Every structure is written in C-alpha cells, then in structure tokens.
C-alpha cells in the first residue's frame, strides 16, 4: 500500500493522458455530448483520479470527463493526484470506473482480467469487492473466450450477455455452428428471422426489412443441449465442478466412462461414437431411487436434458441382477413359452427384429444426410456452373423444372441464397436460370435429396454422389472381432 496522501490540484489537460490499461474502448457519442454540454455549463464537478507517470499524469478514473473537457475547450481539470501501486491503480481503473460508468460486458470482463493478471486478485476477491457472486465474475471473464463473430454480435447489441455466456462455454468450432451461416441464419440455433405479416421481396421492398433477431436464452440453451455434444475431457472446472471431479476420480481408478442420454433419438450433429440410450443404462449411485451395484461405471450425459451431469450407471445387462435381473427373467420366461409352442414370443421377437432393422435404416439415412449436408456447397457450385450453360428454350430442361415446381409446390418454399450462385440478371434468360437454380437448391436441401437428387443432377451431367464422396467420405467400419468372418460350409454325407 502507498502511504503518500492524495493531493488536490488543477492539472493542465496537456499533462493528462489516458491509461492504455483502461478496459473501456467504446465511448457512446450521445452520452459524451451530453456530458460535454454539462461541463460547458457547470464545469467538472467530480475531480479526476490520476497518478504521476512519465512526466505527466495517467488517468485512473475520469476518462469520459477528460474527453468531454477537451471537447468543451477547457485547458485544465481538477484532479486528485495519488501515487499508487499497480494493484491500486488497476483496482480503481476496473472497479471504481465500472461503478460510475456503464461498461459493456466485454469491457467489464477485460477489467476483471486486468485485476487477475496485473493485481493478482482471485475471482473470489473480485466478487467480494464488487458485491456480486463468484459465478457472475467467472461468467464475465469467460466472455473473453468468445469467438470474434460472437463478440461482434454482443458489441452491436444483437445478442445479450445471457446469450454470450452460453456461447463462451463452447469451443470456437461449436460457437460457429450455433451462430450459423450469415446467409442462412436459421441453420444455427442462435438467430432467426423476425416473423412478418408480409414478404418484403413480394411487396417490392428491400429484403433488409426482414430483420434477424436472437432466440430466447432458454431456447438457445435447449438448442445447445440437443445439438452440441458435451465433452467431459474439456469440461470447465468452474461450470461443471461436480462433473469434472467425478470424471477425474473415475480416471484415477481406471473406471470406465460412458456417454449416456435420456433421449431415444440423438441429433446427427451431436452423434459421435456410441451413446447409451435410456433403455441401455440405469442409474446406480443410490440417488433418485436408484440402487448401487458392483458393475457400475461412470456415465456422463452427452446430449439432451441434463447435459454435462455425471453419475454412476449400470450398463451390464448380462451380469447385473440388481438392475437387469427382472428383464433377464422376463426374457427367460418368454423363451420358455416359445419352446412350448407359444406364438406370442415369436411375434415379439419379430417385432424386435423389425424395430432393430428400422433403427439401423434410420441411422443409415441420418449418416447419409450428414454427408449430403457437408457436400452441399460443392454441389451448389457445380450445379450453378451447369445451370448457366443449360439451354433456355421454352420447352427445355430449365423451363420444365420451373413449371414442375410451380405446379406442385406453390409459393411456400423457403428462400435460399440463389442470388450468390446464379444472379437474377436483367434478361428473361437470366431470370429463368435464377428461378430454376432456386428450385434446384430447394430440392437439394430436402430430406429425400440423397436418394432423389442424383437423378436430377445427372440431367446436367453432374455426378453428385462422387462430389459427396470427395467432400465427406464414408467412414471405414470397424471390424467386429466377435462376428465370424464367414459362414461355415455345410457338407453332405455320402450314402454308403
């Protein structure tokens, strides 16, 4: 601590300079004009707080008053001159300024970071000084991990601090997925088009009238739970302290850790390897009515409600009588009835086989859909080049596509970024090409596209399946060591 008493004095503005450590980077012009008018009329009522530095004085508190005094034409300003340690200076710069002047969430975060790095403050001490919770301070500091695109959305007021805090907990790659493509924002989970009672383009008005706005914080949190897979290895110790502790303990004892979910269906974007569904695991930690067992392993909810929670689960259907005994006995009874000629067990077995087959087919289609989505930009580029070369006869390929879709699909199709690939132009031929490409883009993004669109593309001389394989190759299947490599051959015995 410094012992020299502060001194009040009038300091020439030429001897004052702003601190490069000041977290505030943006000064609202309107607010600054109002302060300038007040200083012009009444002068500076509250002195600036400064410290001697490099032949002048470095401002700790009063950066806005300093700028307003310059605009008002003053030559000097009242100041409290205090010799300060770096820690004392940073505290005034970050905390006292934050109380007097509204900082943006990012500026507030930068101030707390300064206190931690320059003054050696802990999160707990900062929380005590500003009268807020530890979680509040930690969430603010976490905002500094926002990707540049997310920081821009926060600065310009498109999203709130609540949205930003949820984004900051994700990796940059996942943040980009949540934000989505600026040309098609509804592919992400953060933004959506504001509902209008009319279509701006149909009314001949600028498309910019179709405003983009964020979903609610609760909707964003639900979207993240469904679409972003939780990675326990990268979990934040502050946000998921209990989970990190549970997973760390499991690793130290070489206990198995498995991803689980309460949901029977997992979005393809959040699917990675096997995730145990609700019929494949049972809670086994003695909580919420569960029973412990010797076969328990650590389960971490990877997707869906409860994302990020970790607790003991049992997945051993063959050995655990505590959790799976009733099901094993039921299967045994069904098998016994089947041996006695009962038809119910046979029907149940057929139903289960059909369900498994349908599930397998559904997973195959979802995997193919994911590959297709990844290859869409490449297909669109190739398709755009082909459409630009196609003849524009009244009964040609392009005209037939337009007529077919206008008759069958009406006007409810979602708009796409066709203008970026095939501009509307000014001639009838340009318009026809643009319209045909728009409808082709709609076809490309339907659920049935992986099966149906290749035939359409073939008419343009495109092999889109080849493009899909180039952009998103089929993952190599892992060999099943338990499965026989080939069926045993049957040999007929010769009659003697």
Is residue 61 domain-shared with residue 151, that is, in the same domain?
A: no
Is residue 285 domain-shared with residue 319, that is, in the same domain?
A: yes
In a domain, 431, yes or no: yes
In the chain, the number of structural domains is 4
What percent of the chain has a predicted confidence (pLDDT) above 90?
A: 25
Mean pLDDT of the chain: 81
Q: How far apart are CA 387 and CA 335, in angstroms?
A: 61
SS3 of residue 174 by DSSP: helix
Domain enclosing residue 190, as ranges:
146-227
Q: H-helix or E-strand containing 29?
A: helix 29-42
pTM of the model: 0.59
Q: How far apart are CA 390 and CA 438, in angstroms?
A: 15
In a domain, 338, yes or no: no
Is residue 12 domain-shared with residue 125, that is, in the same domain?
A: yes
- Who's near 138: CB < 8 A, 6+ residues apart? 123, 238, 239
**Nearest one of 232, 248, 207, 184 to 445, comparing CA atoms:** 184
The burial of 441, by beta-carbon neighbours within 10 Å (0-12 exposed, 13-18 middle, 19 or more buried), is given as: buried
Is residue 27 domain-shared with residue 134, that is, in the same domain?
A: yes
- For 201-257, what is each residue's pLDDT tens digit? 555 555 444 577 888 999 999 899 988 999 888 888 878 888 999 999 999 999 999
Residues 13, 92: contact at Cβ < 8 Å?
Answer: no
Residues 352, 334: contact at Cβ < 8 Å?
Answer: no
Ranges of H-type helices in 289-445: 321-339, 343-389, 397-409, 418-421, 428-444
Quick check: 351 pLDDT over 90?
Answer: no
In a domain, 311, yes or no: yes
Q: How far apart are CA 232 and CA 228, in angstroms?
A: 12
Confidence grade of residue 414 (pLDDT, cut at 50, 70, 90):
very low
Quick check: 97 pLDDT over 60?
Answer: yes
In a domain, 345, yes or no: no
| Assigned token pair, 122 | 């802990």
Confidence grade of residue 69 (pLDDT, cut at 50, 70, 90):
very high
Q: How far apart are CA 42 and CA 36, in angstroms?
A: 10
Helix axes 172-179, 161-168, angle to 10 degrees: 140
The residue with greater pLDDT, 212 or 139, is: 139
Residues 299, 284: contact at Cβ < 8 Å?
Answer: no
């Amino acid at each position: 601590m410094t012992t020299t008493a502060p001194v009040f004095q009038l300091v020439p503005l030429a001897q004052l300079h702003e601190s490069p450590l000041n977290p505030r980077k943006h000064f609202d012009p309107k607010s600054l004009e109002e302060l300038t008018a007040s200083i012009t009329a009444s002068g500076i009522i509250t002195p600036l707080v400064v410290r001697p530095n490099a032949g002048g004085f470095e401002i700790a508190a009063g950066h806005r008053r300093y700028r307003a005094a310059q605009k008002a034409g003053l030559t000097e300003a009242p100041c409290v001159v205090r010799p300060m340690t770096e820690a004392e200076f940073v505290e005034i710069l970050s905390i006292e300024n934050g109380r007097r002047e509204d900082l943006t969430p990012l500026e507030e975060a930068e101030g707390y970071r300064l206190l931690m790095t320059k003054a050696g403050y802990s999160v707990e001490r900062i929380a005590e000084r500003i009268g807020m919770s530890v979680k509040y301070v930690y969430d603010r500091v976490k905002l500094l991990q926002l990707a540049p695109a997310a920081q821009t959305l926060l600065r310009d007021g498109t999203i709130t601090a609540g949205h930003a805090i949820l984004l900051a907990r994700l990796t940059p790659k996942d943040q980009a997925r949540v934000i989505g493509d600026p040309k098609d924002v509804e592919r992400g989970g953060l933004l959506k088009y504001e509902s209008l009672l009319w279509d701006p383009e149909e009314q001949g008005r600028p498309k910019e009238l179709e405003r983009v706005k964020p979903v609610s914080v609760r909707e964003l949190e639900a979207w993240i739970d469904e679409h972003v897979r939780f990675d326990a290895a990268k979990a934040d110790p502050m946000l998921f302290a209990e989970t990190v502790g549970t997973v760390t303990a499991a690793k130290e004892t070489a206990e198995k850790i498995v991803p689980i979910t309460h949901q029977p269906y997992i979005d393809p974007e959040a699917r990675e390897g096997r995730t145990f569904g609700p019929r494949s695991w049972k809670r086994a930690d003695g909580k919420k009515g569960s029973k412990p067992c010797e076969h328990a392993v650590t389960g971490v909810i990877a997707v869906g409600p409860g994302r990020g929670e970790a607790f003991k689960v049992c997945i051993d259907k063959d050995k655990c009588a505590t959790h799976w005994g009733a099901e094993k006995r039921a299967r045994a009874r069904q098998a016994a009835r089947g041996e006695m000629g009962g038809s119910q067990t046979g029907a149940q077995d057929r139903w289960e086989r059909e369900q498994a087959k349908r599930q397998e087919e559904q997973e195959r289609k979802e995997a193919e859909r994911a590959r297709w989505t990844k290859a869409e930009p490449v297909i669109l580029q190739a398709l755009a080049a082909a459409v630009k070369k196609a003849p524009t006869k009244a009964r040609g390929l392009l005209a037939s596509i337009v007529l077919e879709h206008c008759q069958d699909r009406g006007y409810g199709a979602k708009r796409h970024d066709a203008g970026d690939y095939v501009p509307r132009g000014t001639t009838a031929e340009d318009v026809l090409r643009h319209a045909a490409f728009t409808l082709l883009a709609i076809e490309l993004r339907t659920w049935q596209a992986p099966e149906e669109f290749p035939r359409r593309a073939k008419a343009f001389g495109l092999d889109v399946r080849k493009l899909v394989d180039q952009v998103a190759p089929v993952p190599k299947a892992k060999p099943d060591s338990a499965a026989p490599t080939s069926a045993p051959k049957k040999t007929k015995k010769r009659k003697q």
